[in-house]
């Protein structure tokens, strides 16, 4: 017999609550030091009750990271077909959105840092995420070359890596010292300087 709609809705609401609390605990303590007991307590559950919804801590981390990635997709709009300078400037909108959800940025920063260890359960996720981020920048740069905005003599993989490193580095500094680091302002200045550097000369642009 299938669960009744009301029961399914309650179950989904409880899962969302657990993921929300897990996000906070993982962001505060990291995966290694995060306590399943603390997550369960925050949700008003026993640990066996928590494992009724997620079989183990690895599964809970996977769900939390998937939630974070979906939040990025919803806020950032990776599916929008932008290229060149417009695509690079869209990264600035990501920092603007991230400033409103520091707990998600903290989760990414903490877990990504931990995942450099070989046996970390989020290692594959972190590798895949960084590859995807660099790939998005590569597509933006290639599109800028194709439409004549950007010079054709640029080192695309190197610049893509630099953009991702700059974004992550600024976010880390902002998390540590938000009163001193203006995340969006500094990153926007970097992107505008990069666009100036990449821009094709007038006689090289497609007319």
pTM here? 0.79
206 confidence band (pLDDT: 50, 70, 90): very low
Q: What is the DSSP string of 117-184?
A: STT-TTHHHHHHHHHHHHHHHHHHHHHHHHTTSB-SSS-HHHHHHHHHHHHHHHHHHHHH-TTT--HH
CATH superfamily of 1-65: Homeodomain-like (1.10.10.60)
State the Cα–Cα distance between residues 145 and 152, nearest whole angstrom: 6
The C-alpha angle 26, 52, 42, rounded to 5 degrees, equals 40
83-139 tens-digit pLDDT: 899 999 999 998 998 898 888 888 889 889 989 988 889 999 999 999 989 999 999
Q: 59-97, pLDDT tens digit by residue?
A: 888 888 888 788 777 766 555 567 899 999 999 998 998
Residue 23: pLDDT above 90?
A: no
d(CA 205, CA 147) in angstroms, rounded, equals 8
Residue 82 has phi, psi (to 5 degrees) of -105, 150
pLDDT average, residue stretch 161-178? 96
- Around Cβ 207, how many Cβ atoms within 10 Å? 5
Q: Give CA separation, 142 vs 50, 137, 192, in Å.
A: 47, 9, 17
Model confidence at 34, pLDDT cuts 50, 70, 90, reads: confident
Buried b (16+ CB within 10 A) or exposed e, 27-36: beeebeebeb
Residue 78 burial by CB count (10 A; 0-12/13-18/19+): exposed, middle or buried?
Answer: middle
Contacts of 104 (CB under 8 A, 6+ apart): 23, 27, 68, 71, 98
Instruction: Output the average pLDDT for the chain.
Output: 87
Q: What kind of fold does domain 77-207 have according to CATH?
A: Tetracycline Repressor; domain 2 (1.10.357)
The first and second tokens of residue 155, run together, are 């080192």
pLDDT of the residue at 156: 97
pLDDT digits (tens, 9 = 90+) for 173-193: 999 999 999 999 999 999 999
Q: What are phi and psi of 117, to 5 degrees?
A: -75, 140
Domain with CATH 1.10.357.10 in the chain: 77-207
């Amino acid at each position: 017999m299938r669960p009744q709609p009301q029961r399914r809705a309650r179950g989904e609401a409880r899962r969302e609550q657990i993921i929300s609390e897990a996000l906070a605990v993982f962001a505060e303590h990291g995966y290694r030091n995060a306590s399943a007991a603390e997550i369960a307590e925050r949700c008003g559950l026993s640990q066996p009750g928590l494992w009724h919804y997620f079989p183990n801590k690895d599964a809970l981390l996977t769900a939390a990271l998937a939630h974070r990635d979906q939040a990025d997709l919803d806020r950032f709009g990776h599916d929008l077909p932008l290229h060149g300078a417009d695509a690079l400037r869209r990264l600035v909108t990501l920092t603007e959105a991230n400033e409103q959800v520091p707990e998600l940025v903290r989760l990414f920063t903490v877990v990504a840092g931990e995942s450099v260890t070989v046996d970390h359960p989020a290692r594959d996720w972190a590798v895949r995420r960084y590859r995807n981020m660099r790939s998005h920048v590569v597509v933006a740069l290639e599109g800028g070359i194709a439409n004549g905005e950007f010079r054709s003599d640029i080192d695309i993989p190197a610049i893509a890596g630099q953009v991702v490193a700059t974004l992550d580095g600024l976010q880390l500094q902002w998390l540590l010292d938000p009163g001193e680091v203006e995340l969006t302002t500094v990153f926007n200045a970097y992107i505008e300087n990069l666009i100036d550097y990449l821009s094709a000369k007038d006689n090289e642009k497609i007319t």
